[in-house]
Structures are given as structure tokens and as C-alpha cells.
Amino acid sequence: MQFVSNNILPIFIAVFSGIMLLWSLFGNRFRGIKEVNSAAALQLINHKNAIVLDVREPSEYDAGHVLNSRLIPLGKLKERMGELEKHKDQPIVVVCRSGNRSGTACFLLGKQGFAQVYNLAGGVQAWQKNNLPLEK
């Protein structure tokens, strides 16, 4: 017991770090966000006519984006949600650089009733790693 009381801060930091690690691995599942890898996203795009929504900033988008993707930066998604209403029944693959911002966007879209929303796991970085094309 003395050990615990003498080392409370390092113990707290270790426990907190473990919780953060678990959240980064499983947080999207807890929030009801469906993740797809690049191959599955490509299948949705090619066979299910999925919309690709890029939620990065314009400068990131201009540097390279998934072919035929639509840019709506995450910070403007709530105010521009109406642009996606006509696609409510279509699959939507949401993309960002690494998969974090797109996870937040998926959560927001899900709250608005979009049922077929998928987060591209690993984002554009994973897309590039799999040698899939980007448009500039």
C-alpha cells in the first residue's frame, strides 16, 4: 500500500495511457462508427456507388485526394450537411489524412440519420500505402 501511495502519479499516468491506447483502438466501435480498409472502400465505391467525402482542409485536398471525392472540411460539415441529404440512402466513405477527423464526421453524419457511413481506416495515408491513385 505504501508503494501505491508513494507512486500515485506514475500509476495514474500508466493507467491513463492504457485507457487512451484502448480508446484509440476501439473508440470508433464504441461510438457506432463502421470502419473499412482501402480495399473495402474501393469495393463500396465501385460496386455500391458510394460517395467519397473528404473532410480535410482545402490545402490538404489540393495536395492529393481520392478520385471524384467531395470536399467538405470537418469544421463546415454541420452547416453544409444539407448538401449530402440527397445521398442519405447511399453509402458514404469518409476520408481524412489518418482516420481521426473522418471518425468524428462519421459520428456527426450518423446522428443526422445517415445509416451507411464508413470511416476509411488510416485515411489517405493508408490509401497511398496501398498504391491506390490520388488526384491532384
Q: Is 96 a catalytic residue?
A: yes
Q: Is residue 122 left, alpha or beta, with left meaning phi > 0 and alpha meaning psi from -120 to 50? A: left
- Packing angle of the helix pair 100-111, 8-30 (nearest 10 deg): 50
How far is residue 129's CA from residue 32's CA, in Å, rounded to a whole number?
A: 26
Catalytic residue among 93, 96, 105, 106: 96
> What SS3 state is found at 72?
coil
Answer whether 67's CB lies under 8 Å from 95's CB: no
Catalytically active residues, by annotation: 96
